[in-house]
Amino acid sequence: MASAKPFLLLQETPRGAVAGKKRHRGWGGGGGDGTRGMEKRGQEASWDGRHWMRRRGSTRRNEKLHRLCLTETDLRRVPYESMPASVTTLELSLCDIPDAWFRVSPSVPPPQVRHLAIHSVPTFSDHHLVDVSSQNHLKTLSLCGTYRITDMGIRAAAPHLEELERLVLRHCIIGDAAMVFIGRHMRQLRHLEISNAYFLTNRGLVAIVTLEHLETLCLDLYDLVSLGTVIALLQVLPRLNHLKLGGTCFEDELLDKIQENFPHCTISHTPACYVNNKTC
């Protein structure tokens, strides 16, 4: 059995320090970069972002760190360009993100992030999305509780997201225009989840008929999308094997009949009064 990839979880304490829980082994190898206290598995350690920046050492020492999770962290203390080059998965939750955090100096190679998750970071906005997508070849992108993400941001970032295979957008202020650019540029998508998109209509849903590799589709539709449009998607997306609908008023008996006509695809339905934030 292959060993799990090392990752580091950092959480800022009320006093301004950052508490880190080290999982597996990595980030500095215990060398003189201020991270020796995190070397013991499962043990919390006091960690100050500015102290680490002064003494973090060469990124070559950190080449085994693949996943970095930052929670309740003031990112002004942790410059994006300072992350180890080996980090391919970045997860930010409840963080305070500076306006230009993802912008790096032309003389400094940016981190090669492939998987990005932004959860409940209200200051994450359209320009952050464009900055990070334009310098990375993202494979997965999850934006949850980022209400500053709009159709304009998706439009600007979409040409840089042509290699994306998984996209989750929850509580983002998007509508039909965003779906048009998702369908135009993100044609490698295999998993797409759009929830709490109150302005999505038939026009936007039709725009994703180009996603011929799509296998899983999760949508909160509400009353602006017709069942006929959903059926049209099932007819033209040959690889779709899981369709989850939320926020609709479709009758279960009607959906059962549709299921009979499309046995290759599992169709599930959450009525409008039961819609929540769970992923499919």
CB atoms within 10 A of CB 201: 18
**Alpha helices, DSSP H only, in the chain?**
49-55, 126-134, 151-157, 176-185, 202-206, 227-236, 252-261
Average pLDDT over residues 26-37: 34
- Name which CATH class applies to 141-280: alpha beta
Query: Taking the mean position of all CA atoms in its chain, how far away is CA 95?
Result: 15
Joined tokens for residue 126: 């359209």
Residue 35 is predicted with a pLDDT of 32
Range(s) of the chain covered by CATH 3.80.10.10: 141-280
**Rounded Cα–Cα distance for residues 32 and 14 (Å):** 26
Amino acid at 199: F
Instruction: Give the pLDDT of residue 145.
Output: 94
- Model confidence over 211-267: pLDDT tens digits? 999 999 999 877 788 888 989 999 999 999 999 988 777 777 788 888 999 999 999
Looking up tokens 């949850």, which residue turns up?
A: 144
- What per-residue confidence (pLDDT) applies to 80? 93
d(CA 145, CA 277): 10
| CA angle centred on 144, ends 143 and 147, rounded to 5° | 95
Q: Say whether pLDDT at 17 is over 80.
A: no
Q: Specify the range with the lowest mean pLDDT, choosing from 92-101, 184-193, 214-223, 234-243.
A: 214-223
Type of residue at 56: R
Work out the pLDDT band at 89, boundaries 50, 70, 90: very high
Q: How far apart are the C-alpha atoms of 176 and 170, rounded to whole Å?
A: 15
Q: For 33-68, what is each residue's pLDDT tens digit?
A: 333 333 323 323 233 444 444 444 444 455 678 999
Determine the Cα–Cα distance for residues 255 and 72; give it in Å rounded to an integer.
42
Q: What is the pLDDT of residue 48?
A: 40
pTM for this predicted structure: 0.79
Q: Please report the pLDDT score of residue 62 as a whole number.
A: 57
> pLDDT for 138-179, tens place per residue?
999 999 999 999 999 999 999 999 999 999 999 998 999 999
76 vs 101: CA distance, rounded Å: 8
pLDDT surpasses 50 at 31 = no
Q: What percent of the chain has pLDDT over 90?
A: 53
212 or 272, which is more confident? 212
